[in-house]
């Protein structure tokens, strides 16, 4: 296939890059891959098999010359310097109108900078979040592209073909200009962190607080995946809880170290939310719980010095009722987490001129990605009905669903407090709801204090103007 003009080019033939190439070829688009490692360049051809329009090369000149113009070239290399290095080596060979797509989890200000630098040369740069891991890349990811709208038309047929489908609709859509795609993926990951933390808290209370054994726990998550909680993360949790460790005969999860790692996207979501002054407390909590998990030695010492006596008393309530309450509470907390992330997108879209349409975001999150969940149908409907919705909680259907479940949430949190089991993400999710729906918050007192000690002034509820009091 040496003389073919390939429809698409891929740089970085690690497992994600390779799998995306095979996915592209499955949909009858020819694709050429570039990797400096000759083995990787070869493997993709072998994996594709005879007759597929797939080629791997180690020559950047051959790579660029073999792609149909305007060229569409995607990078799947580690975020940060490697992206800049690849761009620098490609740019001298590219022509105006060509498109470079970064498919990694790049930090959105980096994308913004690259868009501007490449646009000066007439080259369109796209930051595109790709979610769904290795399997998603192979059989249908969710893709979040941002960049030049007109240039997107060159990419659309390929992306729509390879994306996951839900009810026949592809889980990809043009999201907006500049770094919109990376930003949306960053918030996707923030929500991912939040929901993963919520699942771990639910698992902990059911296990240590209520005393469910391994099989019972597994059955709960399996059942939940047939309910309104149906989602990828609940589904894989049920799978994970089943897995037995060959060496010890125990459940594998119970022999996995509790020090959680991270690559940064959750933290970026929280950091940027603070910059934009958008509260995302469940996501913040998820980030900080991964941090607490790293202090293993201190926690071991503290567990001896500050023992949790509440756990010595067995739970004597109705276990089935508690499991039902947990299901409702989880739904509440999960929706609260989506609401926070989507509110962040609303503010960011305004601040960075992305022009996001949240119904589209909800649509493309319904399949392929890590936070795919059946509840995204309701979320999408809410933004379809009212594209200006400032917060998901203001949608009558979604808000009503939470009102119906708030007592379950409170019951679960009461038990967690009695048992001394930390459920900070559940707590944050409820506090977000309670604060958001409060007409008068006690922040009037904070304003008074600021004026008292610093003459920072305050506004009044009964008169226009700025006031200061000699307290």
Q: H/E element holding 429?
A: helix 424-436
Which 260-279 residues touch ligand 6PG, going by CB under 6 A?
262-263, 265-266
- CA nearest to 18, candidates 38, 36, 33: 33
Residues 6+ apart with CB under 8 A from 440: none
Residue nearest to ligand 6PG (CB): 131
Instruction: Please answer whether residues 436 and 391 qualify as being in contact, where contact means their C-beta atoms are separated by less than 8 angstroms.
Output: yes
> CA-to-CA distance for 36 and 156, rounded, in angstroms?
28
Stretch that binds ligand 6PG, among 32-40, 125-133, 229-237, 403-411 (CB under 6 A): 125-133
Is 304 part of the annotated catalytic residue set?
no
Q: Is the peptide bond before 70 cis (omega within 30 degrees of 0)?
A: yes
Cα distance between residue 340 and residue 402, in whole Å: 14
Is residue 143 near ligand 6PG by the rule CB under 6 A?
Answer: no
Q: Where in 336-375 is the site for ligand 6PG (CB under 6 A)?
A: 369-370
What is the x/- site pattern for ligand 6PG, positions 175-194, by CB under 6 A?
--------------x--x--
- Contact between 133 and ligand 6PG (CB under 6 A)? yes
C-alpha closest to that of 237 among 265, 206, 261? 206
CB of 265 to ligand 6PG, least distance (A): 5
Q: Which of 131, 272, 428, 429 binds ligand 6PG (CB under 6 A)?
A: 131
Contact window for ligand 6PG (CB under 6 A) among 14-22, 31-39, 126-134, 318-326: 126-134
Pick one of 12, 56, 132, 181: the residue that binds ligand 6PG (CB under 6 A). 132
402 close to 393: Cβ distance less than 8 angstroms:
yes
Residue 52 or 185: which CB sits closer to ligand 6PG?
185
Among candidate residues 185, 267, 363, 419, the one labeled active-site is: 185
Distance (Å, whole) CA 9 – CA 21 = 9
Footprint of ligand 6PG on residues 52-111 (CB under 6 A)?
105
Catalytic residue from among 7, 112, 192, 360: 192
Q: Give whichever of 197 and 218 is closer to ligand 6PG, judged by the CB atom.
A: 197
* Catalytic site includes residue 439: no
Report the alpha-carbon distance of residue 271 to residue 277 in Å, rounded. Answer: 10
Question: Residue 167 — left, alpha, or beta (φ > 0 → left; ψ -120 to 50 → alpha)?
Answer: left
Mutual angle of helices 38-48 and 15-26, in 10-degree steps: 30
The residues carrying an active-site annotation are: 185, 192
User: Interface with ligand 6PG by CB under 6 A: which residues?
Assistant: 105, 131-133, 189, 192, 262-263, 265-266, 369-370
């Amino acid at each position: 296939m040496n003389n073919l003009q390939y429809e698409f080019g891929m740089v970085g033939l690690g497992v994600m890059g390779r799998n995306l190439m095979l996915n592209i070829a499955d949909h009858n688009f020819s694709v050429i891959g570039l990797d400096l490692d000759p083995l990787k360049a070869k493997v993709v051809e072998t994996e594709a098999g005879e007759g597929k329009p797939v080629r791997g090369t180690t020559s950047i000149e051959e790579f660029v010359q073999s792609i149909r113009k305007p060229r569409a070239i995607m990078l799947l290399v580690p975020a940060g310097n490697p992206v800049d290095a690849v761009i620098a080596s490609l740019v001298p060979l590219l022509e105006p109108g060509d498109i470079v797509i970064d498919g990694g989890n790049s930090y959105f200000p980096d994308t913004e900078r690259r868009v501007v630098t490449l646009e000066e040369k007439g080259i369109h740069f796209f930051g595109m979040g790709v979610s769904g891991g290795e399997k998603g890349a192979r059989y249908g990811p969710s893709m979040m592209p941002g960049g030049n709208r007109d240039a997107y038309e060159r990419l659309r047929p390929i992306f729509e073909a390879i994306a996951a489908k839900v009810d026949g609709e592809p889980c990809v859509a043009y999201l907006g200009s500049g770094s919109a795609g990376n930003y949306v993926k960053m918030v996707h990951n923030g929500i991912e962190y939040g929901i993963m933390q919520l699942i771990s808290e639910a698992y902990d209370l059911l296990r240590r607080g209520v005393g469910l054994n391994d099989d019972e726990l597994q059955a709960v998550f399996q059942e939940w995946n047939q309910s309104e909680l149906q989602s990828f993360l609940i589904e894989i949790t049920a799978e994970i809880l089943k897995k037995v460790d060959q060496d010890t005969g125990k459940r594998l999860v119970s022999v996995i170290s509790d020090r959680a790692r991270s690559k940064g996207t959750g933290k970026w979501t929280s950091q940027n939310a603070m910059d934009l002054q958008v509260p995302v407390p469940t996501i913040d909590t998820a980030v900080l719980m991964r941090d607490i998990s790293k202090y293993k030695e201190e926690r071991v010492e503290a567990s001896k010095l500050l023992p949790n006596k509440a756990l010595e008393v067995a739970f004597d309530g109705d276990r089935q009722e508690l499991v039902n309450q947990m299901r409702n509470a989880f739904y509440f907390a999960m929706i609260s987490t989506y609401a926070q992330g989507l509110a962040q997108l609303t503010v960011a879209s305004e601040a960075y001129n992305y022009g996001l349409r949240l119904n589209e975001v909800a649509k493309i999150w319904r399949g392929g990605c890590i936070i795919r969940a059946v509840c995204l149908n309701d979320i999408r409907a809410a933004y379809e009905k009212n594209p200006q919705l400032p917060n998901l909680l203001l949608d009558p259907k979604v808000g009503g669903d939470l009102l119906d479940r708030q007592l379950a949430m409170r019951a679960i949190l009461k038990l967690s407090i009695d048992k001394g089991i930390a459920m900070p993400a559940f707590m944050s999710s409820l506090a977000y709801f309670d604060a958001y729906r409060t007409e008068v918050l006690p922040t009037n007192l904070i304003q008074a204090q600021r004026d008292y000690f610093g003459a920072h002034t305050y506004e009044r509820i009964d008169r226009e103007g700025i006031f200061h009091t000699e307290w």
